[in-house]
Homo-oligomer: A and B are copies of this chain.
Amino acid sequence: MKEIRVGIIGFGTVGSGLAEVLLEQQQRLEKRSGISVRLSKVADIHISELPPQFAGVTLTKDAAELINDPDIDIVVELIGGIEPAKTFVMDAIASGKHVVTANKALLSQEGQDIFSAASKKGVEVGFEASVGGGIPVIKSLKEGLVANKILAIMGIMNGTANYILTRMTDEGIPFAEVLKDAQEQGFAEADPTYDIEGIDTAHKLAILMTMAYGMNITHNDIATEGISQIKPVDIEFAREFGCRIKLLAISHNHGDHVEARVHPTMVPDSHLLAKIDGAFNAIHFTGDMVGNVLLYGLGAGKMATGSAVAADILDIARDIRSGSVGRVPSLSYLPEYIGERKITPMSELACAYYFRITANDEPGVLSTIAGILSRNGISIESVIQKGRKELGPVSVVMRTHTATESSVSAALSEIDALDVVAAPTIKIRMLEIE
């Protein structure tokens, strides 16, 4: 039986999860492929021995020793971050190894270098685990939906942010309190910035857009807002409008230009994305042939991520065995067809908006605000005014009809400059359902 040898750099949560998956599923992988996938070496600077079940596996503190090991076929990078991960990946490619990684930050920022080097060297780069954890998102986009022009991508791609929003929604407790609790329980990182500020979601959207549209894009090209400014009162108002607030990645393919944005979004209850709760992810594609497809599952976690990395390993192993390396281009399109595309400036976005304006409860306030909106070409769909029983400022909440981002920005600058307005206005975009 053909044997494929794997080296793992980084034996943290995902690395040790992958090692367990490869051990537990070894027979299953053999019965499905006729290939024996063997974990041969682990590189990690933080540990001095491997758990006893990995008795035959060599441990080293030196990643180079693994990368240059002539017996290793596939190098799995699971340390995260940009450096030294990029160096390890580039060195592995240079020494003719296939690479599997779950590192969305690295791929989003340095993908062009990595995929170009791999293509020149004739090795494969697998990255199923970089988006949607164990959900087969990348394979579905590259192969299952290959006969589609992808018209839109929408998704909940960060389990931590979705977990926080779900608990805020179900329990009515403030953001900071849920975050602290999630950190104590290990559901959120000590530094949660990437998760809660939408940056991790933007990394993932950049990866999907590259493959869906055949374009170069990094997360820096994506307008990104996080969830830290969302208050329980916004969630309450969302409920009154028949919506849930979700941190969504949204991209529309307009042919000559493409939309790309990550922000909290009011999702109507009737949409499946409104029902995705807790640490789950869901990615929604619209294809010109297939229509709407949604893929749902755990977006993170030791074994779920291990499942995706193991699928990539077996995919590459099948290509090595069959002599068909490069059978499917890493980024779905052949490199010569991946080009530049214009990204729609955020100011040109048009959608419906939710505003929560904090104003002193004086006569004429609503009329002043309505006047400003009207002068900026923004028409109001409905208004809720609450908090009259309390002293101090009240919340004036509005839903608009479709308006452009530029007119909304202009109007909110004027509104927030009013003497009667006591705090910056909160604006949440609404999901438009075709």
Contacts and interface: CB of A to CB of B under 8 A. Distances in A.
Given A275-B272, A319-B324, A146 B293 contact: no
Nearest to A136: B144
A401 interface: no
Contacts of A301: 291
Contacts of A310: 146-147, 289
Size band of the interface chain A makes with B: 35 or more
A31 B337 contact: yes
Interface string A277-307: 0000000000111111111111001011011
A389 interface: no
Contacts of A291: 134, 297-298, 301, 303-304
Interface in A112-148: 128, 133-136, 139-140, 142-148
A31 B329 CA distance: 10
Interface in A293-331: 293-298, 301, 303-304, 306-308, 310-311, 314-315, 318-319, 322-324, 327-329
Contact of A149 (B28, B136, B296, B297): B28
B272 A290 contact: no
Given A144-B139, A289-B307, A304-B291, A322 B327 contact: yes
Interface of A: 21-22, 24-25, 28-29, 31-34, 128, 133-136, 139-140, 142-149, 214, 272, 275, 287-298, 301, 303-304, 306-308, 310-311, 314-315, 318-319, 322-324, 327-329, 332-334, 337
18 contacts: A25-B149, A28-B146, A29-B146, A29-B147, A31-B333, A31-B334, A32-B142, A32-B146, A134-B289, A136-B136, A136-B144, A139-B144, A146-B314, A289-B303, A291-B297, A292-B298, A322-B323, A327-B327
